[in-house]
């Protein structure tokens, strides 16, 4: 486990490296909104949010505030400034959040956020931010290696869990039964929605008949 002094020494040495594009999948398994960038006195405090025109929920606003608070804590602890990431709420599936390292971007799962708001504020946000900080400080490291663990413990005082235990029933993928001349088969909910909207029709590869909802 790295000690706080190791982090400061790495800073003085300039730990960041140029890397091939890498996305760090993380904490468990998770809307977007376009706002004007919020700037502080320094360019390093630029914090942008991107996505659709859908308004942010009060919980999403709390997450953005938590992101800013975490960065301020990191700057005090590590004695340097960090460029604020783009923050989005577009992640789907069973993941709570993910950190896109070279893009300096955070994505959170809006559905799991609404169901686990306290855990998101306390653990998920620091978890994902530590991936971005670790990349900027040390370059390429193991996703949940000793550098990441040390940042979690020394900067945010959060136990470095690598997975979550959220109930993911509401975000589990679903499928719908269709039929053709061969018999029943399943289509994903995404394809089913395309059929309902009249955007697509699907044909069985074996009998060449159009699939019809059962």
Helices 4-13 and 125-138: angle between axes, nearest 10 degrees: 40
CB atoms within 10 A of CB 88: 22
CB atoms within 10 A of CB 157: 9
What tokens appear for 28 in the block? 């468990």
Give yes or no for a contact between 170 and 111, defined as CB atoms under 8 angstroms apart. yes
DSSP string, 105-146: EEEE-HHHHHH-HHHIIIIIHHHHHHHHHHHHHHSS--TTSH
The Cα 212–Cα 214 span in angstroms is: 6
**131 appears as a binding residue in the annotation:** yes
The Cα 132–Cα 104 span in angstroms is: 7
Annotated catalytic sites, by residue?
128
Please state the residue numbers annotated as binding site for Zn(2+): 127, 131
Please state the residue numbers annotated as binding site: 127, 131
């Amino acid at each position: 486990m790295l000690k706080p002094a190791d982090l400061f020494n790495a800073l003085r040495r300039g730990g960041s490296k140029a890397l091939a594009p890498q996305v760090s999948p993380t904490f468990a398994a998770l809307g977007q909104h376009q706002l004007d960038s919020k700037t502080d006195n320094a360019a390093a405090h630029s914090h942008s949010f991107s996505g659709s025109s859908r308004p942010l929920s009060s919980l999403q606003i709390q997450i953005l505030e938590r992101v800013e608070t975490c960065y301020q804590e990191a700057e005090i602890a590590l004695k340097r400034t960090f460029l604020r990431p783009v923050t989005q709420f577009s992640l789907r599936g069973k993941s709570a959040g993910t950190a896109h390292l070279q893009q300096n971007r955070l994505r959170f799962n809006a559905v799991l956020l609404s169901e686990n708001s306290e855990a998101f504020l306390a653990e998920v946000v620091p978890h994902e931010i530590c991936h971005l900080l670790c990349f900027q400080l040390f370059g390429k490291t193991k996703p949940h290696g000793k550098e990441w663990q040390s940042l979690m413990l020394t900067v945010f005082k959060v136990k470095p869990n690598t997975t979550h235990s959220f109930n993911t029933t509401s975000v589990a993928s679903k499928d719908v039964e269709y039929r053709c001349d061969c018999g029943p088969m399943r289509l994903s909910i995404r394809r089913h929605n395309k059929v309902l909207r009249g955007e697509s029709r699907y044909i069985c590869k074996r009998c060449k008949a159009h699939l019809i909802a059962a």
